[in-house]
Structure 1
Amino acid sequence: MRTLSRVLAPAALAALLLHAAPAGADPVPADPVPADAAPADDAVAAATPESVCGAGYRIIDSLPISTPRLWATVYLLYNSGNGYNCVVTWKKTNLSVRTYTEARIQVKGSSTIHRNGGDFYTYAGPVRVKAPGKCVQFGGVASDAPGGQRFQSLSPWGHCG
């Protein structure tokens, strides 16, 4: 699978990733962790991407965030019982410090990018979206140190279903 990984300055990353939902957009189910806060014990709150997303979710794809050093892995999960996709970005380095980490997903045909990002010890997410019969693009961001460089990976459109 082809992935895009690059070093982005914070301003360029913000310009690339920031987006406001259009007026009248359908509400998104609330994620248990707000985008601007990490749970106090996120390092022990979940042991796997499946446990972060919840019962019924299974990993269907993943992307490395690497430079070539592996900073994190972005997981796309799907729950066939409720039809939701879920994205979690799982850190592979710097687990003892909070570094910027983000999980994101977009449904093809929508300008809304659903995301969860902040300074986390272990992972960002879950980010859930229902996309019946539509393709999704998922990705994530990880930084090399607190306030450091940010790296991203973004999938091509896929998992159209």
Structure 2
Amino acid sequence: MRFNRSAVMAGALAAVALGATTALAAPASAAPNTTPQKVCGSAYKTVNSAPIGSLGTVFLTYNASNGKNCVTTIRKNPGTAVDMSAWVYIPDTGLGDDDYGPYTSYAGPTYVYGKGHCVDWGGQIANVYTQVSGSNCAAFKEQRVTFTR
């Protein structure tokens, strides 16, 4: 799968804002005490995270044995399905993955090969979005943005 960064960002926000994918996605089952490792796999270690307002957290994980990153968005209080998303993108390869839909507990997992590359990633719960750009790039400073629509 090849992605253009601006197309991924525009498409992701448009799809979520319009709710275009909500009717097509099956809700995840409630998992009140889930973890990124339960969603992504036990070999994935959390390397970064960002709050999505007070609603939950988006996690960036990494599996050193296969070089893949995984992103999942986990609600603080699972309940009635709401629009959620998780996405990951590698700018210099153009590869990415995303998951959008009405979920009760978490969105994702989303996977992409990212060994030795900077990572852009983020998630959304209801109308609150968090995006992290230029993450896990050694000495480079990442950019974090959280906004409400």
Quick one: distance in 1 between partners of 2:119 and 2:12? 23
Considering Cα pairs closer than 8 Å and 6+ residues apart, tell me whether 1 or 2 has the greater RCO. 1
Identical amino acids, percent of aligned pairs: 33
Runs of 4+ in structure 1 off by over 4 angstroms are: 15-18, 110-113
Taking structure 1 as reference, are residues 119 and 55 closer, same or farther at Cα in structure 2, changes over 3 Å only? same
TM-score, normalised by the number of residues in structure 2: 0.72
The aligned residue for residue 146 of structure 1 is none
Alignment counterpart, residue 37 of structure 2, candidates 24, 39, 50: 50
Shift of 1:16: 8.7
Q: Contact (CA 8 Å) 2:30, 2:79: kept in 1 or not?
A: no
Q: Contact (CA 8 Å) 1:116, 1:127: kept in 2 or not?
A: yes
Alpha-carbon RMSD across the aligned residues, in angstroms, is 2.8
The aligned residue for residue 89 of structure 2 is 106
Alignment counterpart, residue 25 of structure 2, candidates 36, 61, 65: 36
Taking structure 1 as reference, are residues 111 and 81 closer, same or farther at Cα in structure 2, changes over 3 Å only? closer
Shift of 1:117: 1.1
Q: Does 1:128 align with 2:111?
A: yes
How many residue pairs match? The answer is 123
Alignment counterpart, residue 86 of structure 1, candidates 60, 64, 70: 70
Q: Contact (CA 8 Å) 1:102, 1:116: kept in 2 or not?
A: yes
Shift of 1:140: 0.4
Quick one: distance in 2 between partners of 1:78 and 1:52? 13
Shift of 1:133: 1.9
The aligned residue for residue 119 of structure 1 is 102
The aligned residue for residue 8 of structure 1 is none
Is the partner of 1:132 in helix, strand or coil? coil
More strand by share: 2
Match for 1:58: what amino acid?
K
The aligned residue for residue 25 of structure 1 is none
Q: Which runs of 5+ in 2 are unaligned?
A: 1-10, 19-23, 139-149
Quick one: distance in 1 between partners of 2:43 and 2:93? 26
Match for 2:132: what amino acid?
S
Q: Which runs of 5+ in 1 are unaligned?
A: 1-10, 19-34, 144-149
Q: Does 1:14 align with 2:1?
A: no
